[in-house]
Chains A and B, each alone.
Chain A
Amino acid sequence: MSRPPPDLAERAMHRRKREDAALAVPILGIVLLASPVLNIFAGVQTLFGLPAAYAWVFLIWAGLTLLTRDLARRLIGPADRGLGPE
């Protein structure tokens, strides 16, 4: 009962932030991978010797995957076995 509240509140806030980030990842994905942004890379440009659009799509894709992995580990860490916003 007499635990210092700032610690708990801060942790709750960080958790809330991670949950919000989990929502932000797919939105970011839509903006970067399913929007007119793609047309910037259309055509004959190349990136590291690869067609620019091809490189862009796979780079973003890999980036989002890594981001999700990081978030998933933070949301369901070994220290935080309970899943869900209980």
Chain B
Amino acid sequence: MLSLNALVFVCLGYTVCLFLIAFIAEQRASRGRRGWLGSPLVYTLSLSVYCTGWTFYGAVGSAARNGLEFVTIYLGPSLVMFCWWFLLRKLVRIGRAERITSVADLLSSRYGKSGSLAVVVTLLSVIASTPYIALQLQSLSLSVAVLASEGGQQAPPAMTGFWFAVGLGLFAILFGTRSIDANEKHVGVVSAIAVEAVVKLLALLAIGVFVVWGLTNGPAELFAALPGGGLPDTDIFGPRWVTLTFLSASAIICLPRMFQVLVVENTDERHLATAAWAFPTYLLLISLFVLPIAIAGRAFLPDGANPDLYVLTLPLSQGQPWLTLLAFLGGFSAATSMVIVSAIALSTMISNHIIVPIWLRLNPHRTQTSGDVRSVVLTGRRASIALILGLGYLYFVLTGGSAALASIGLIAFAGVAQVLPSLIGGIYWRGANRAGALTGVGVGFVLWVYTLLLPSFGDSFLMSSSVLVDGPFGLSALRPQALFGLSAPDPLVHSIFWSLSLNTLLFVSVSLLTSPRLLERVQAAQFVDTYRQPQDGGMILPRSATSEDLFTLAQRILGTPTAHTMFTDAARAQGKASGLPAADDALIARIERELTGSVGAASAHAMVSQITRGGQISVEELLRMADEAAQIVEYSQELERKSGELAETAEQLRGANARLQALSDQKDAFLSQVSHELRTPMTSIRSFAEILRERADLDKADIARFVGIIHEESQRLTRLLDEILDLSFLESGRAQLTITKVRLGAVVDSAVTSTEGLHQAAKVTLSVDRKHMDMVVPADFDRLAQVLINLISNAVKYGATAAPEIQISAEVSRHAATLVVRDNGPGIPPEAREQVFEKFSRLSETTLAGSAGLGLPISREIMRALGGDLAIGAADTGAEFRVTLNRTTAKPVQAAAE
């Protein structure tokens, strides 16, 4: 018979084959030649990781004890596969669009990238899976022990279990954590599992055929071997049937390893169309002979034989070593594939949702370099695999051989089923939110532990038998297996009823009572409306989460217009008329390039690779990082703007300074002019006064002349000072004006009379044109007369010719009345026409006769104060001064230049 050494040799040889298959598959995949690896058949076979050592050996045991009930474990998943069109397809679509890596990631992502929800689901999965993994180690070591004892050898379960745990851990680490693939796909592992799937199916089929047609002559004879065909004479359908069907149905979605192969490892959505009927076929075939084998076991094996090992002991007892070996390899395949995929799936969850967040919290500044995160993730995953297998082994050693292990599979199903309400609600119900999911899963988790997991250990330190019988602290309403006095025939049914009903109730009601955060609402739309997002060449509402996230990121850093242009270009390059582009590698690389310009290469890469890989840093975190970067950019832009303003202000100040300087210069010039003008009469007064004092011999006529000069000069001085005062008053706007109705003719007559002596002395012919002279305007009579006197005196002084003439006339327009004083003198050259209004300017020193030259500036100031103006007209000969007055009000009007 088979010796232990031969068995070890077979196991090692088989494992080496699996290693080779996995290795070759990875090599092919890395060279882009997926070939048969990418076929729907491999995908379907990989789903068979559902059939573990527990189902391989235990299904027959279950059938031997409870008849047809075992079939529910395969019916549930089949029914779910029939739902492929509207359930699994949606899950897979979401998984691909959102780059989902695990169940925990799916829930976390759906409910606003909630870290706490991911942690709860991860813990739940680990707690539920640890005994399940222990169960596999148990079935492996048990099968080895059976075969070894047949050969008269001892195989201590603790020892074999240990080596199995080490070997499986090694396999999982080698092929599950070689690198962090963006899609979390493990081609090698999937291929090895597909091969194992074939082995376990062939093993069961071979034993079944041998039992039905080898031991007996067909099924009819076999079923006749036991009364009633070996089926219990009771109703089949009942609460337990429904519960088991439901649990196994939810397990195919919620179990970490099933989610891994069903959603994460899916390479093509179309594979579902094949798996939808091929996987139920596989399950049907694998369960087809379970009942016959159980019946044969009961019929042909001694009464004390363990039904859980019929698969192995039946061919063994019939002297079929090769068939026994095949059965052993089938069980080996079932157990190993389950452990490997579970370890990989759980390690992804633990590293992504527990280790990396903790690491990021401890090293908040090291997120800048993505290499760091990668190595932490890889190390975390390897450590997690070791931890999971260590826990499983520990559990196996501590509880090894206890009857509790038999029901562990269903307990694990019940545990992970707590995720189902939030998962289904999350992909179909927009209103489901994080608070509801957290409450539902949390309460379901606690109830599951209390009503099913703890009691399953029997009387132990975790829960004493007195608590089971009387409830904690004697509270019988809280008895774990009869909560609130509900007595169910079955603890499993009881636990599922309470945990799942309260889970669902709280999930729905808390979701209804609370409102989701913004990110949750965004994610809800992504998940529920996943079909409306683009597939290859899709055209409706292109809103893939990843490209939207990338857009948000780009927007935060580059600003909306730039991001918009960039994404529109990318969409056009992809051949899309509108909307966001698909988040392909080219786009991601481009964004990274663009962001590099803003935040530096390292941060850009970290941000983009995190957002495309998903799960390791929350979107909020990224947005916060982006905000900080954007703030820095904004701040520097603000600084730039500020310095621009500063430069402008400085420019204005310089301008003001220059104006002030000019004013100061003017003032200096004015003062020097004034002192010069004052010194001339003063000098003359002083010199004549000195002559009068020192020369006593002067005759009376001289004295009178000198005194006359002094008198005249003092008068001139006084007049000059008066004029300066007058001008300063006028310029400062403090001049008092008495506005009355003034007839033009009256003012002109007054001015002519006042200057009569002057122009008669100079023999000037002065004529007044009486036209329009009756016009009445609002003005200050005396001041207006002063202006005219100034002008007439000027004309007399400067208009010196052989026959000097002065003409005064009036012009009237709609708004203004203008008095024109014209002489026939040399005139004023055009370039000097403004100069004459400057203080102390004189057109020619020689023509000045005793005036300080302030007359014209004062006159212009007076006219402006009256709301009119004084200007020089462009006359052909002589000078023409135009005094313009506003006809209606004494307010400024636009003076006519001519």
Chain A interface residues toward B at CB < 8 A: 19, 22-23, 25-26, 29-30, 33-39, 41-44, 46, 48-51, 53-54, 57-58, 61-62, 64-66, 68-69, 71-73, 75-76, 82-86
Which residues from B are CB-within-8-Å of A34? 72, 75, 79, 237, 241-242, 245
- Evaluate contact between A39 and B236: CB separation under 8 angstroms: yes
CB-CB contacts of B722-759 with A at 8 A, as 1s and 0s?
00000000000000000000000000000000000000
- Evaluate contact between B535 and A57: CB separation under 8 angstroms: no
Closest-by-CB residue of A relative to B80 is A26
Bound-state Cα–Cα, A35 to B288, Å: 21
- Evaluate contact between A46 and B229: CB separation under 8 angstroms: yes
Closest-by-CB residue of A relative to B287 is A58
Which residues from B are CB-within-8-Å of A85? 531
Given contacts A23-B86, A26-B83, A76-B270, contact A57 B75 (CB under 8 A): yes
The one of A26, A35, A53, A71 in contact with B79, judged by C-beta atoms closer than 8 angstroms, is A26
Which of these binds chain A: B42-50, B276-284, B314-322, B650-658? B276-284
- Evaluate contact between A22 and B78: CB separation under 8 angstroms: no
Bound-state Cα–Cα, A86 to B538, Å: 7
Bound-state Cα–Cα, A35 to B242, Å: 8
Which 7 interchain pairs have the tightest Cβ spacing?
A49-B220, A51-B229, A69-B277, A22-B85, A38-B237, A72-B273, A26-B82
The one of A26, A65, A71, A76 in contact with B284, judged by C-beta atoms closer than 8 angstroms, is A65
- Evaluate contact between B79 and A30: CB separation under 8 angstroms: yes
- Evaluate contact between A42 and B236: CB separation under 8 angstroms: yes
Which residues from B are CB-within-8-Å of A33? 75, 79, 245
- Evaluate contact between B276 and A36: CB separation under 8 angstroms: no
- Evaluate contact between A72 and B84: CB separation under 8 angstroms: yes
Bound-state Cα–Cα, A25 to B86, Å: 12
Given contacts A38-B236, A44-B228, contact A83 B241 (CB under 8 A): no
In the assembled complex, B772 has its CB within 8 A of some CB on chain A: no
Which residues from A are CB-within-8-Å of B187? none
Chain B: interface residue total (CB-CB under 8 A): 49
In the assembled complex, B68 has its CB within 8 A of some CB on chain A: yes
Bound-state Cα–Cα, A86 to B270, Å: 15
In the assembled complex, B261 has its CB within 8 A of some CB on chain A: no
Which residues from B are CB-within-8-Å of A36? 237
- Evaluate contact between A53 and B280: CB separation under 8 angstroms: no
The one of B229, B230, B270, B539 in contact with A83, judged by C-beta atoms closer than 8 angstroms, is B270
CB-CB contacts of B384-396 with A at 8 A, as 1s and 0s?
0000000000000
Which residues from B are CB-within-8-Å of A44? 227-229, 233
- Evaluate contact between B223 and A49: CB separation under 8 angstroms: yes
Which residues from A are CB-within-8-Å of B783? none
In the assembled complex, B119 has its CB within 8 A of some CB on chain A: no
The one of A48, A54, A72 in contact with B277, judged by C-beta atoms closer than 8 angstroms, is A72
In the assembled complex, B604 has its CB within 8 A of some CB on chain A: no
Which residues from A are CB-within-8-Å of B274? 72
Closest-by-CB residue of A relative to B282 is A65
- Evaluate contact between A61 and B86: CB separation under 8 angstroms: no
**Can you name 10 extra interface pairs (CB under 8 A) apart from A34-B72, A51-B230, A83-B269?**
A33-B79, A38-B241, A51-B68, A61-B75, A64-B280, A65-B280, A65-B281, A68-B276, A71-B85, A76-B273
In angstroms, how far is the closest chain A Cβ from the Cβ of B233? 6
CB-CB contacts of B200-238 with A at 8 A, as 1s and 0s?
000000000000000000111001100111110111110
- Evaluate contact between A53 and B281: CB separation under 8 angstroms: no
Given contacts A23-B85, A84-B535, contact A51 B270 (CB under 8 A): no
Which residues from B are CB-within-8-Å of A57? 68, 71, 75
Given contacts A54-B229, A83-B535, contact A42 B234 (CB under 8 A): yes
Which residues from A are CB-within-8-Å of B291? 54
Bound-state Cα–Cα, A71 to B229, Å: 35
Closest-by-CB residue of A relative to B291 is A54
